[in-house]
């Protein structure tokens, strides 16, 4: 019989993170936040019943993550639907606890890197004290009280702490406190204290920080190691020659050269780079991002697409490391303008772009001089 229950709330939308899915399902170094959080929860020494509270839209996803994280212990992990507020979500989790549970921990999935030892520390302290227990860390910054922009005073920070989760409580008292709560509280300990129960602190953990903004996500990835915060991407573009068109390639105009056909200016070099950058950042591809029927891009030059693409990539929290691009074509010959091309593209992308060219030895459509092919790779890393 497990006497510990751990509720992992993961039903928030993650508005401040701004990803295209609920926050707990966003990956940190290739593993969803919820899966990382559960791995740490299940790594605690004390056997526990784990209740995951997930968004209604993601119950199946949460179940498969829970099964993966729990492995053989899958029978002790349950998934229930969340509510409109965090407090509602915790209440739903409480309702799913097994009868044998005496100590309840409530934990944010968003604190995905919380070390397992913290769960054991909180459980031990609840048992020893019979009160509510919250992990805390001292406040490092000087704190000021302000009104509008005006500083009123320096607050004595020696009595201030940051608080984290997991927060632990005797089950019966927490359930009763939830049943009688008549307002929204910012954490479970505040709700518990309002019902008249004592709350004490134990030492928290730096790694238990909450992932709220893209900056926090980058921090979590850095804490886990720089490697997976680096990604590569690939892009290919092909355009047919069109003798009626001027040639634009790599954002430059090429007088006296046969042009390329296309909805835009046919700049296969810029387009392949865009695809490589979008691919590296996991943002899809140029066709999906800039619809061919979008009048803004009809006849647009390659540098317009490139500028928009770099803004998208940076907006998603990535910095471009470098780009390599190769033209496969009979003409134009790039040699004489290679340096000019590289410096122009480097300025557009804001990172080194290397350009090379080859022919296909007379084979295929490039060999028959029907058109050009371009292949590009890009490296991005967390900004
Ligand atoms: N949470 C929840 N149900 C809600 C709201 C929040 O289970 N209705 C959970 C979140 O999933 C998260 C934890 O409570 O694990 C802490 O909340 P927060 O960091 O604020 O997450 P979100 O509410 O998802 O983010 P935001 O406030 O930026 O929208
Ligand atoms: Mg929130």
Ligand 1 center to 65 CA (angstroms) = 18
Domain boundary among 170, 200, 226: 226
- Answer yes or no: do 235 and 222 share one domain: no
- Answer yes or no: do 236 and 321 share one domain: yes
Range of the structural domain that residue 93 is part of: 4-226
Is the pLDDT at 228 greater than 70, yes or no? no
Q: Ligand 1: which residue has its CA nearest to atom 25?
A: 14
Domain boundary among 194, 226, 258: 226
Ligand 1 center to 9 CA (angstroms) = 7
Please tell me the pTM assigned to this model.
0.64
Read off the pLDDT band of 227 (50, 70, 90): very low
- Answer yes or no: do 85 and 217 share one domain: yes
- Rounded Cα gap, residues 319 and 299, in angstroms: 28
Distances (CA, A) of 179 to 100, 175, 182, 189, 266: 19, 6, 9, 14, 65
- Answer yes or no: do 162 and 242 share one domain: no
Tens digit of each residue's pLDDT (9 = 90 or more) over 87-129 = 999 999 999 999 999 999 999 999 999 999 999 999 999 999 9
- Answer yes or no: do 215 and 350 share one domain: no
- Answer yes or no: do 245 and 158 share one domain: no
- Answer yes or no: do 79 and 190 share one domain: yes
Tens digit of each residue's pLDDT (9 = 90 or more) over 23-50 = 999 999 889 999 999 999 998 888 999 9
Tens digit of each residue's pLDDT (9 = 90 or more) over 272-307 = 999 999 999 988 899 888 876 777 777 788 999 999
Q: Ligand 1: which residue has its CA nearest to atom 1?
A: 12
Tens digit of each residue's pLDDT (9 = 90 or more) over 135-146 = 999 999 999 999
Domain count, the chain: 2
**Residue that wins the pLDDT comparison between 60 and 282:** 60
CATH of the domain at 87: 3.90.550.10
- Answer yes or no: do 262 and 372 share one domain: yes
Contact 357, 268 (CB under 8 A): no
Three-class secondary structure of residue 191 per DSSP: helix
What number does the ligand 1 atom closest to the CA of 22 have?
24
Residue of 62, 84, 110, 210 best suited for mutating to test ligand 1, as the one with most atoms within 8 Å of CB: 110
- Answer yes or no: do 263 and 284 share one domain: yes
CATH of the domain at 308: 3.30.1330.50
Domain boundary among 226, 259, 280: 226
Strand-pairing partners, residue 235, are 376
- Answer yes or no: do 303 and 350 share one domain: yes
- Answer yes or no: do 198 and 67 share one domain: yes
Is the pLDDT at 324 greater than 50, yes or no? yes
- Answer yes or no: do 265 and 347 share one domain: yes
What is the reported pLDDT for 292? Answer: 67
Name which of 81, 89, 39, 90 is nearest 61 in CA terms.
81
Residue of 19, 37, 65, 86 best suited for mutating to test ligand 1, as the one with most atoms within 8 Å of CB: 86
């Amino acid at each position: 019989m497990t006497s510990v229950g751990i509720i992992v709330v993961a039903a928030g939308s993650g508005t401040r993170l701004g990803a295209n899915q609920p926050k707990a399902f966003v990956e940190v170094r290739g593993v969803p936040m919820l899966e990382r959080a559960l791995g740490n929860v299940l790594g605690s020494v004390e056997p526990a019943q784990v209740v995951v509270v997930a968004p209604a839209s993601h119950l199946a996803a949460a179940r498969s993550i829970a099964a993966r994280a729990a492995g053989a212990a899958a029978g002790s992990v349950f998934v229930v639907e969340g509510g409109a507020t965090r407090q509602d979500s915790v209440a739903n989790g409480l309702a799913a606890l097994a009868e044998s549970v005496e100590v309840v921990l409530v934990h944010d999935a968003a604190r995905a890197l919380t070390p397992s030892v913290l769960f054991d520390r909180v459980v031990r302290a609840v048992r020893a004290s019979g009160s509510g227990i919250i992990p805390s860390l001292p406040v490092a910054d000087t704190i000021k009280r302000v009104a509008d922009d005006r500083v009123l005073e320096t607050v004595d920070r020696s009595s201030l702490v940051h608080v984290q989760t997991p927060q632990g409580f005797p089950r019966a008292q927490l359930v009763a406190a939830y049943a009688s709560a008549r307002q929204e509280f910012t954490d479970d300990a505040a709700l518990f204290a309002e019902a008249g129960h004592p709350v004490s602190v134990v030492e928290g953990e730096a790694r238990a920080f909450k992932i709220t903004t893209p900056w926090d996500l980058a921090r979590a990835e850095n804490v886990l190691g720089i490697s997976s915060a680096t990604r590569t991407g690939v892009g290919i573009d092909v355009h047919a020659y069109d003798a009626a068109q001027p040639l634009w390639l790599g954002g430059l105009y090429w007088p006296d050269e046969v042009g390329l056909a296309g909805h835009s200016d046919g700049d296969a070099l810029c387009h392949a780079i865009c695809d490589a950058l979008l691919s590296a950042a996991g943002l899809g591809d140029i066709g999906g991002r800039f619809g061919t029927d979008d009048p803004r891009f009809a006849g647009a030059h390659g540098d317009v697409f490139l500028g928009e693409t770099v803004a998208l990539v940076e907006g998603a929290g990535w910095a471009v490391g470098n780009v390599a691009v190769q033209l496969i074509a009979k003409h134009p010959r790039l040699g004489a303008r290679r340096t000019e091309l590289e410096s122009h593209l480097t300025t557009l992308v804001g990172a080194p772009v290397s350009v090379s060219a080859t022919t296909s030895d007379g084979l295929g459509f490039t060999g028959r001089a029907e058109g050009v092919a371009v292949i590009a790779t890009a490296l991005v890393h967390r900004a």
